[in-house]
Amino acid sequence: MSATSEQIKSASDQKGKQEQKKTDVQATAKALNNLFSTQLKLATDGNAEAQFIVGRMYENGAKDLSKDFAKAAEWYQRAVKQGHCQANAYLGNMYELGIAGLPKDIKRAQDHYKIALKWCKEEAEKGNAEAQAELGTMYHFGQGLAVNFIEAHKWYLSAAKQKHALAQLCLGILYKEGQGVTKDMAQAKIWLEQSAEGGNANAQYELANMCMADIEIPKDELNAVKLYKMAAEQEHGLAQVCLGGMYQKGYGVTQSLIQACSWYEKAAKQGIVSAQTNLGCMYELGEGVNQSDLEALKWHEMAALNGSFDSQSALVRIRQRQNNSHSFLGSVQTAQMATAALPEFTEYVQAFMLSYKVAVTDKLEEEARKTHQTFLTTLTSHFGVGKAEQDLNSQAANNFEEELSRKKEESLSYGYQLAVKKYMEESKKNPPIMTHQITPAQNVATKLT
């Protein structure tokens, strides 16, 4: 009877804790809503500090307040016009990223950072944790001054000791990457855990990745799922993708294709390219959702426009399967997306090759010639327009015409080999820059992830 009594008591205690947690969450949500309403009224009346706070709340989102970068930028701009120094840092961050409907403008971003820098230094010296974290970020990413990892570490540490969650996250990143300090995964884990416990979604995401990487820290799929879910519930797009992947593969959780699709869709609606591709594949195969080429095309087209080679290939594959008379024209559009979005030139060539094969199969010679000319023009603009390049392009064009006349599928083999050869020669001299590289920075979902 004793064991049974203990079990009943334990179950009762657990239920009590769950109810208390639910009550606390509801109380926090209510407090946030009240805070937002109060600050919004003050901001509307022209209070610069309130305008900055409302901007932060729109940028980060809350229980009943969806993230809205455009509204955040609007309120930051209002605060900046009234001389609010800290708002300059956040507005500068948006110009640097080119988000919230603002053009990507590095010079303008740096101008805003320099205005914020004076405030940050003065307040950081006084012990203001927010200013210390902001100053650390500015040294970390060269915002308004030269990059200095040692100074970044100094100010992050000062703020982190005051339990500033973003500073703890950034400090963990420095230890993880070995920037300004000796690389130390144990220290990285300590600071990331503290930040994650403080509710920082980026820290939860980073920590989950560490749990799955199995590098220096034992792999822990159960904890990874828990952390991904915590971040995903805060609308962290990349965490939503990863959580979807965990459900799709059954890692650390019971496999559920329905749950996988649900999380992929949440991330896809935030513009996460990998989620759009994954969701497109799920609809194409009918996994976790009813099979629908229409839905598959919708999500693949979104991802293709954002540079996903897998989705670009999928568009060609689906259109070919549908036996659509406009399949070639669609594949040409897909290939043209690749020229603008893909940083890897070889993948761009492969995308065009798909178009050529479709062109030859459908016997659309004129369209194939146009596509080939587009390819040559892009190749020339990529590598220059010297006499040698013009001669090579002319030779490739002649070869194309001869092969096309014989209706051979390998008609573009010479042009393809030429492109790859040129790419390999140029990459040795000037390694290509990855235009989709994600860099850490302030508390914006696309940064520090």
For residue 318, give the nearest of 294, 286, 342 by alpha carbon: 294
CATH architecture of 29-123: Alpha Horseshoe (1.25)
3-class SS of residue 261? helix
Contact 310, 273 (CB under 8 A): no
3-class SS of residue 163? coil
* CA–CA separation, 36 and 32 (whole Å): 6
* Residue 187 CB neighbour total at 10 angstroms: 16
Contact 147, 137 (CB under 8 A): no
Beta-bridge partner residues of 65: 62
Residue 200, C-beta contacts closer than 8 angstroms, at least 6 positions apart = 165, 166, 168, 169, 443
For residue 133, what are its two tokens? 């974290």
* Residue 75 CB neighbour total at 10 angstroms: 27
Provide the residue-wise pLDDT of the chain in tens; the chain has 449 residues: 445 556 555 556 655 555 555 455 445 455 556 778 888 899 999 999 999 999 988 888 765 677 788 999 999 999 999 999 889 999 999 999 888 888 899 999 999 999 999 899 999 999 999 999 999 999 999 999 999 999 999 999 999 999 999 999 999 999 999 999 999 999 999 999 999 999 999 999 999 999 998 777 789 999 999 999 999 999 999 999 999 999 999 999 999 999 999 999 999 999 999 999 999 999 999 999 999 999 999 999 899 888 888 888 888 788 777 754 344 444 445 444 544 444 444 444 555 555 555 444 444 455 555 655 665 555 555 544 444 445 545 555 555 455 444 433 333 344 444 444 444 454 444 443 332 222 222 222 222 22
The pLDDT, as a whole number, for residue 81 is 94
Q: What is the pLDDT of residues 94-107, one digit of tens each?
A: 999 888 888 899 99
The pLDDT, as a whole number, for residue 5 is 59
The model carries a pTM of: 0.64
Query: DSSP code of 234?
Result: T
* CA–CA separation, 279 and 288 (whole Å): 10
* CA–CA separation, 191 and 186 (whole Å): 9
* Residue 231 CB neighbour total at 10 angstroms: 28
* CA–CA separation, 176 and 149 (whole Å): 13
The pLDDT, as a whole number, for residue 218 is 86
Residue 20, C-beta contacts closer than 8 angstroms, at least 6 positions apart = none
Longest CA–CA span in the chain (Å) reads 94
Fold match between 29-123 and 127-198?
A: yes
DSSP string, 349-400: HHHHHHHHHHHHHHT-HHHHHHHHHHHHHHHHHHH---HHHHHHHHHHHHHH
Specify whether domain 127-198 bears CATH 3.40.630.30: no
Task: Give the residue extent of every domain in the chain.
Answer: 29-123, 127-198, 311-341+344-432
Q: What is the pLDDT of residues 135-154, one digit of tens each?
A: 999 999 999 999 999 999 99
The pLDDT, as a whole number, for residue 67 is 79
